[in-house]
Amino acid sequence: MKKSRTIRMTLLAAVCFALTVVLAIATPAIPERSEALGGALTVKFYDSSGAAMSGQAALDVARNKADNLSNGYQDKVISALVNPATLEDLNSTNTPMSPVVHSTDLAFSLPAAGSAALALTWPTSASRGYSMVLLDNLGAGFSSSATVNFTFQAARDLKKRFDAALNSRLAATPTFAPSSAFNSSKTTLSTDFTAMMSASTESEKGKLGWAVLSDLHATFDMLLAEYGGQLAKYKDEHDQGSPWLGTTFDDATSSNIGTRLGYARNATLPSGVSPNPGYGWVRIVFDVGTPLSDYDKAVKSAHSKGLLVMGMPFDSTTARACLPTNNPTHCTASEYQARFKSVVDHFSNNSNSAMNIDAWEVGNEINGEWIDEDPVTGTYSYGSGDMATKVATAADYVHAHTNATTVGTLYWQVPTSNRPLNSTFTWAENNLIDTGYANKLDVVLLSTYIEDAPMGSWFDTAMSALIAMFGNKPVGLGEFDYFYTDTSRYFWSLTHLNAASTQAAARAARPALATQAYSSMLAYPTSIGGGFWWYFQEESAGSYGTALQNAIKGVANSVYFG
């Protein structure tokens, strides 16, 4: 039910975001890290007119003070030092990194050994919003003290990544076929980048850096959205896999379930196509305490409409406290396994195939900080949620007793994690890769709530890091939405919203985000897509809902090859 997501997002907003999870059979010790420092990265900021900014002014922009006074912006974690290749958090302790605020700059202490990149939330476009900006010194990172001009360096670094992303797709099969809009945007980018590189003063470099970052945000978005459709169409036509276009139903026992599943079918079925090509997926959330038979209608109805079903026995909040009591305790591994087994058994190996679920989400947002928080005391302890055992045993059970696909979903929180060990790639490396548990997952997805932790023009960087970490395993987006009533509201994307924005404004903003995300997530050879818009059941009705449906349907139309 929505209540579990409300609890999770309330924790995120109230506790600077919540607490983590760790995959290890026993509660793991916090990995040892060097405490020595390797110098400082000093970052100077200029506004879009070229005026120098104070360190405090820059920090306020990074935290989006202007829009989010009611959200406790001053407590928001917005920076981290990360591995420039893997995006793993390099913080020496399991506490968030805070910059030293000087009158003319922000300073960040570098690690004693190796190189580091600075990840920082920042508005990279007046029309497209916030990004996770990665200062990575053209890929090399920073290994000794340095002073950089933020927008100038960020623009140089992202331009290098954009060029590599474009060139790889121009050399790929299928070859990227750019639109005239893309070519026009790329020309503007080239002109502005040349001017920036010719600037003679730091003020001018900083000013022009804003323009180049804005150009890059728009042009990179177009590259990924356009190529996503082209690649998915090619793969489907050449029997290399059909895309997953998913929506989520978190109240699947409601009386409107048949109608709303019809909306999901409409959103994911290409216009005028028969038979159904099978792009549409629905995630059905099974609430703890609700009889499983109450969900039979939804599962059968989804299949009757040509939709594939991914079952979620546990949202990340119920993975934390799965007993529906007044005083819940941490959900133990045995309790998790017992419930997971009962749900899988009910919806598998039935003589009526319409009752058999196609994929199981064995863990949702498994690195989420809140899972390691005691439900009663609120005390955080790394690994106390015991997600390692939970995910591993659930995946083993699915593989042993069904032919369904196992799916694990990570939560995107770079550089916004209040617990660096729970930062997306740090946690995944320590708990999925190093343990071998990644091999138990058939698909790895990434949950992203942009208003809590933006990607923006570094979307390609994030997805590329996910693909590199998990090799040839299928990847995609596993959950997202935008500015629903119970989500945190620190940052905005594509349409400028703030903490006080109405749901009418949010509903109007969502179709553009859906088009961008559902298209971009397909722009990688190993991506299956996904999406799984979390509040689709609530947001799919009425004129605004029709617009959301049509946005997803536009992606379905773009990938259909018939």
pLDDT at 34 over 90: no
On whether both 324 and 348 belong to a single domain, the answer is yes
pLDDT given at position 324 = 62
The β-bridge partners of 522 are: none
- Residues 322-371 pLDDT 10s: 876 556 778 889 999 999 999 999 999 999 999 999 999 999 999 999 99
In this structure, how many other beta carbons lie within 10 angstroms of the beta carbon of residue 496? 15
Residues in the chain: 562
Looking at residue 486, the DSSP 8-state letter turns out to be T
Residue type, 535: Y
Q: pLDDT tens digits for 116-155?
A: 999 999 999 999 999 999 999 999 999 999 999 999 999 9
Based on the domain organization, do 191 and 274 belong to the same domain? no
Find the helix or strand (DSSP H, E) in which 190 lies.
helix 180-198
* C-alpha triplet 309, 390, 486: angle, nearest 5°: 60
Please tell me the chain's helix, strand, coil percentages from 3-state DSSP, rounded to the nearest 5.
45, 15, 40
Residue 33 lies in a domain: no
Mean pLDDT over all residues of the chain? 92
Residue 403 has, within 13 A of its CA and on its CB side, a CA count of 4
Is residue 139 within 8 Å of 196, Cβ to Cβ? Answer: no
Strand residues in 412-492 grouped as ranges (E):
443-447, 475-479
Distance between CA atoms of residues 243 and 415, nearest Å: 29
The DSSP result for 521-548, as a single string, is TT-STTEEEEEEETTHHHHSSHHHHHHH
pLDDT-derived band at 174 (thresholds 50, 70, 90) equals very high
Domain that holds residue 183: 38-225
User: Is the bond leading into 174 cis (omega within 30 degrees of zero)?
Assistant: yes
pLDDT of residue 215: 99
> Are residues 434 and 336 both part of a single domain?
yes
Same domain, 187 and 272: no
Both structure tokens of 525: 């050879």
CATH number at residue 535: 3.20.20.80
**Residue 26 pLDDT > 60, yes or no?**
no
Going from the C-alpha of 471 to that of each of 413, 444, 466, the distances in angstroms are 21, 11, 8
User: Is 232 among the domain residues?
Assistant: no
User: Would residue 494 count as lying in a domain?
Assistant: yes
Q: Verify that 6 and 45 share a domain, yes or no.
A: no
Handedness of CA 66, 69, 71, 77 (dihedral sign): positive
Are 118 and 6 in a shared domain? no
DSSP string, 270-331: PTT-SS--S-EEEEEE--TTS-GGGGHHHHHHHHHTT-EEEEES--HHHHH--S-SSS--PP
Per-residue confidence (pLDDT) for residue 32, from 0 to 100: 36
Q: What is the pTM of this model?
A: 0.93
Query: Which residue from 285, 295, 280 is spatially nearest to 248, judged by alpha carbons?
Result: 285
Residue 131: the pLDDT is 99
pLDDT at 327: 63
pLDDT at position 422, please?
Answer: 95
Section 287-297 average pLDDT: 95
Whether the predicted pLDDT of 9 surpasses 60? no
Strand (E) or helix (H) holding 391 = helix 387-401
pLDDT reading at 20 higher than 50:
no
Report yes or no: 300 and 353 within 8 Å, Cβ to Cβ. Answer: no
In terms of domains, do 176 and 280 share one? no
Confirm whether 518 is domain-assigned.
yes
Q: Which residue has the higher pLDDT, 5 or 531?
A: 531
Sign of CA dihedral 49, 54, 55, 59: negative
Region at 64 (left for phi over 0; alpha for psi -120 to 50; beta for the rest): left
- Do strands 129-135 and 117-125 pair parallel, antiparallel, or not at all (unpaired)? antiparallel
Type of residue numbered 397? Y
pLDDT at 238 over 60: yes
Q: What is the pLDDT of residue 6?
A: 39
- 188 and 283 belong to one structural domain: no
Q: How confident is the model at residue 313 (pLDDT cuts 50, 70, 90)?
A: very high
pLDDT at 11 over 60: no
Please tell me the distance from the alpha carbon of residue 416 to that of residue 174, in angstroms, as a whole number. 36
- Whether residue 230 lies inside any domain: the answer is no
Residue 358 carries which DSSP code? S
Q: Is residue 191 classed as helix, strand or coil in its secondary structure? A: helix
* Residue 231 located in a structural domain: no
Tally of structural domains, the chain: 2
Residue where a domain stops, chosen among 170, 191, 225: 225
Question: In a 3-state reduction of DSSP, which class is residue 427?
Answer: helix
pLDDT of 14 over the 60 cut: no
d(CA 489, CA 446): 19
Domain match, 391 and 415 both: yes
Which of these three, 225, 250, 267, is where a domain ends?
Answer: 225
Placement of tokens 């040892």 in the chain? 32
Q: Which of the 8 DSSP states describes residue 430?
A: I
Task: Kindly indicate the confidence band of residue 499, based on its pLDDT and cuts at 50, 70 and 90.
Answer: confident
Taking the alpha carbons of 539, 371, 25, 335 in that order, is the dihedral positive or negative? negative
Distance CA 62, CA 66 (A): 10
Q: Distance (Å, rounded) from C-alpha 5 to C-alpha 534? A: 9
Q: Are residues 125 and 246 in the same domain?
A: no
- Taking residues 199-225, what's their average pLDDT? 99
pLDDT at residue 139 in the model:
98
Say whether both 364 and 493 belong to one domain: yes
User: Does a structural domain hold residue 237?
Assistant: no
Query: Is the Cβ–Cβ distance between 26 and 36 less than 8 Å?
Result: no
**Same-domain check for residues 212 and 277:** no
Residues 450 and 555: their CA atoms lie apart, in Å, by 20
Q: Where among 166, 197, 225 does a domain terminate?
A: 225
pLDDT confidence of residue 50:
99
At a CB cut-off of 8 Å and minimum separation 6, what does 354 contact?
299, 300, 303, 304
Q: Would 182 be classed as within a structural domain?
A: yes
